[in-house]
Structure 1
Amino acid sequence: MDWRERYERAAARYAGGVTRKSDERQLVQLANAAWAAGLSLLMAGDRVGAREWLVRAAARYRESWDAGAESDAWGRPIGAMKALLIAGEDASEAAHWTLETCLGISYRDVSVSPVGRYAGILALLVLGRDDEAGAVAAGLGEGFPGDVADALRALAAHDAEAYRAAVAAVRRSFEEREDFLEDMPVPDTALALEALGERRRLGP
């Protein structure tokens, strides 16, 4: 797979997008294009370039929320945190924003969608509030991927064996998929989980 070619296409989409009116929808498209450019460079071995684009993607996801996203547009704070984690950057500011602005006190509320609670769990894990993350993750059930839920619970519990098994399952499920954001076949969820695992010294 020619990752450089994929990068060029994504970067061109981004460059074309910045010339248009920056409404909420356009900001999401810019974020997605920056995300694709960053992952392409990461897969091409250019970590410095990847970091720049992924940080840009995180900023655009946040801007799109602030521009008037619906209150359940959880993919945006999730995308921002995952982009920063994969880039190796400090995601704590994005995590605070997710909890305080996007979710408020509702990250513990079981009536919030599983994806909304996932956003809260990621934020808590980024901030090292693992006991709280584990409590929320314990409530993830139907409607949410079991392998990802297992990985989140293992991260919160610092259970290295369960963590490695769960992340391996996440990678296997990724390999069985056919549809990807921006047509980017990169295991972004596993990469973000692995970044959280490395910080807890849970192994590769």
Structure 2
Amino acid sequence: MSQSARRRNQRGHGALLRDEILAAATRVIDAAQTEAEVSLRGIAREAGIAAPSVYAHFADRDEVLMAVAEASWRQVCDEITELSAPGATPRDKLILGCQTYVSFAQRFPLRYALMTQSADIPPAARQALETVTRGLLACRSRAPQSPPSKTAHRIAASLSVALHGVAMLHRSDSPNLWLSDFSTDEIIRSLVDAAILRLEHPRSAARV
């Protein structure tokens, strides 16, 4: 990380400074190995401002980390949308979205840990789950336009929890446990196919 001289924002441009602090915090987090290495002083240094200036926009370090986590959830959703191939089948799109999610965790392990450790679910995380739910519904062979049911939401949540497990095991170049025997893509495809099958047979899914 390198510190550069920062030009003072014009009056009324407080939102711009807040965005700069978040961008600096993201860079600090991505360069760190543990959360303990992330400090407000380090974030301020990366942003090119005095440490007290951070308090005009965030109450403390935890609030900065929460804002970075929320922005990261939005980034995941944007990447999934951007990388979805227009000509792909709904199943292919869902698999690609799941692969994108796991890839994000591998590229930004500390940010991903921050995204998933909060007890409060941020709005952008709920949006990510809705993206999974819509992707699953698009894969159904019947009644594709019907609104999501409680069962659909539950199956989507189950798929998301399973993907979280894959992401946690595969946040480095050395996969752990069963990911040493099977590729990440094989595992993701199996999880997606199992979720689609359960959605196609909701009565069986409800009994499990």
Q: Do the structures match in fold with TM over 0.5?
A: no
Larger radius of gyration: 2
TM-score by length of 2: 0.31
Higher relative contact order, chain-length normalized (CA < 8 Å, sep 6+): 2
